[in-house]
């Protein structure tokens, strides 16, 4: 069987003007991941990333550590099917109808870094509306369309893969959630309950034979746990 490692990007710059940049912790997480894979003797046949900067930076930082340790590392390929959904667009489209019941929502979302718990509660509520399909809005990518887009990326991987290849996919939490939904048939709401637990640079492993895919492991972050540095275990 072949293996596909779904790797969430390192910690991004939550609360900053540009979220799509790794924080110093995010860079360190990626380096630790690459060193850990090298120590395990992991041989990657292919490495794919979405086209977001935080995904590519995580991939390149990890690959650099593999090469520095003398391990072979493939050239990074880009496939936008593994991008994250546009969370800002979801918030902008669905927030106005929620302000009647959440009058402080706009202030909280604009100051997310200092209201993390309330931001998460509101964001989860908005995501619940988005995945329900009851609030589909013109110009906003629906959950169904996002899942279809991710499915296309997975299909391309499988069509091009040899039966015993090991492939790393550097992606994001929402994309991993869509893949969990597709592969295990878990309902979207329950899949997003798992989403909130996905650690930055964690690995989830898929096993495949032909077009048949199964989930082998989820959210492993032992490379961070072994360092006994709690500040490296982050979720956003």
DSSP secondary structure string, 12-61? B-TTSS--SSB-HHHHHHHHHHHHHHHHHT---SEEEE-SSHHHHHHHHH
Task: Tell me the per-residue pLDDT of 67-86, one tens digit each, with 9 for 90 and over.
Answer: 999 988 999 999 999 999 99
Distances (CA, A) of 167 to 90, 158, 177, 202: 31, 10, 18, 15
Task: Tell me the per-residue pLDDT of 21-71, one tens digit each, with 9 for 90 and over.
Answer: 999 999 999 999 999 999 999 999 999 999 999 999 999 999 999 999 998
CA geometry: angle at 52 spanning 111 and 21, to 5°? 45
Domains and CATH numbers, the chain: 2-85+146-232 (3.40.50.1240), 86-140 (no CATH)
Residue 229 and residue 211: Cα distance in Å, rounded? Answer: 39
User: Do strands 166-171 and 46-49 pair parallel, antiparallel, or not at all (unpaired)?
Assistant: parallel
Q: What pLDDT is stored for residue 83 in this prediction? A: 97
What residues contact residue 111 under an 8 Å CB cut-off, 6+ apart?
A: none
Average pLDDT, whole number, for the chain?
Answer: 94
Which residues are bridge partners to 8 per DSSP? Answer: 171
Local structure of 185: helix, strand or coil: coil
Residue 222 and residue 175: Cα distance in Å, rounded? Answer: 21
Task: Tell me the per-residue pLDDT of 111-160, one tens digit each, with 9 for 90 and over.
Answer: 877 888 898 899 999 999 999 999 999 999 999 999 999 999 999 999 99
């Amino acid at each position: 069987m072949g293996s596909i490692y779904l790797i969430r990007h390192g910690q991004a710059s939550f609360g900053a003007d540009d979220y799509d940049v790794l924080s110093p912790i995010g860079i360190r997480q990626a380096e630790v991941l690459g060193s850990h894979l090298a120590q395990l003797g992991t041989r990657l046949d292919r490495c794919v990333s979405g086209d977001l900067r935080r995904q590519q930076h995580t991939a390149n930082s990890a690959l650099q550590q593999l090469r520095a340790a003398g391990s072979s590392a493939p050239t990074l390929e880009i496939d936008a099917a593994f991008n994250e959904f546009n969370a800002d667009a979801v918030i902008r489209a669905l927030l106005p109808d929620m302000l009647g019941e959440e009058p402080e929502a706009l202030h909280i979302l604009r100051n997310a870094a200092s209201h993390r718990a309330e931001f998460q509660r509101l964001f989860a509520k908005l995501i619940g509306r988005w995945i329900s399909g009851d609030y589909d809005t013109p110009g906003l990518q629906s959950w169904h369309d996002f899942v279809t887009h991710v499915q296309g990326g997975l299909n391309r991987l499988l069509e091009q893969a040899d039966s015993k290849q090991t492939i790393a996919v550097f992606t994001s939490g929402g994309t991993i959630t869509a893949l969990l939904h597709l592969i295990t048939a878990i309902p979207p709401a329950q899949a997003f309950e798992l989403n909130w637990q996905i650690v930055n640079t964690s690995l989830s492993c898929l096993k495949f034979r032909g077009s048949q895919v199964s989930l082998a492991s989820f959210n492993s972050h032992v490379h961070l746990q072994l360092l006994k540095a709690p500040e490296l275990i982050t979720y956003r």
